[in-house]
Amino acid sequence: MYSASDLRKGLKIEMDGVPYDIVEYEFYRPGKGQAMYKCRIRNLLNGNVTDKTFREVDGIGEPNLEEREMQYSYNDGEHFVFLENRTYEQITLNPEVLGDQKYFLTEDMTVKVLFHNDRAIVVTLPSYVEKKIISTEPGARGDTATNVTKAAKIDTGYEIRVPLFINEGDLVRIDTRNGAYAERVTKK
């Protein structure tokens, strides 16, 4: 159990069997009254965000969470299969657990899998991945502006906004945390 004074941004807690993480946290003490902890919490199972105020007297559940490194192995057409190298333990995840992350997986990529009561709930990829642009409108030569963008597609079919100077066949770095273009990769 946590007590209310343990609360802080990023702490993971549990309520009614559901794990949450604290996105925003605000200390507040009315007048002569007791301390309140106004939190915005995110359901780690479905991403929904809600507000919750904890009082000093409230006990707060501590979720049974474990994070393990695993390697992406393959996609069987529906599910995504990951392996733990050390133990050869295998898990199969629905695409819903991965969300847009599924577009950024590459074979043997090492990812962090968060388990809640031994059930995989969140997969975290490396912050940046490199992907090849397979289709986009031709860019204007010499246009190096980065604030004007156009649509492009990567090899997994994911659509992304890229600067005008990016061409088909270019390798780009993508921030997996927000799914956005980060920079062009120049291979020497």
Q: Name the site residues for other proteins (rule: CB under 8 A).
A: 5, 9-10, 21, 26-36, 38, 42, 44, 46-48, 53, 55-57, 96-101, 122-125, 176-179
47 or 157: CB nearest other proteins: 47
As measured in angstroms, the least distance from the Cβ of 45 to other proteins is: 9
HSE toward the beta carbon, residue 7, CA cutoff 13 A: 31
Residue with tokens 């549990």: 14
Which of residues 94 and 143 has its CB atom nearest to other proteins in the complex? 94
Q: Which is nearer to other proteins, 46 or 186 (CB)?
A: 46
Q: How far is CA 31 from the centre of its chain?
A: 40
Residue 38 is encoded by which pair of tokens? 């106004």
CA distance 44 to 22: 10
Residue 4 C-beta: closest distance to other proteins, Å: 11
Terminal Cα distance for the chain, rounded: 53
Q: How far is the CB of 11 from other proteins (least distance, A)?
A: 9
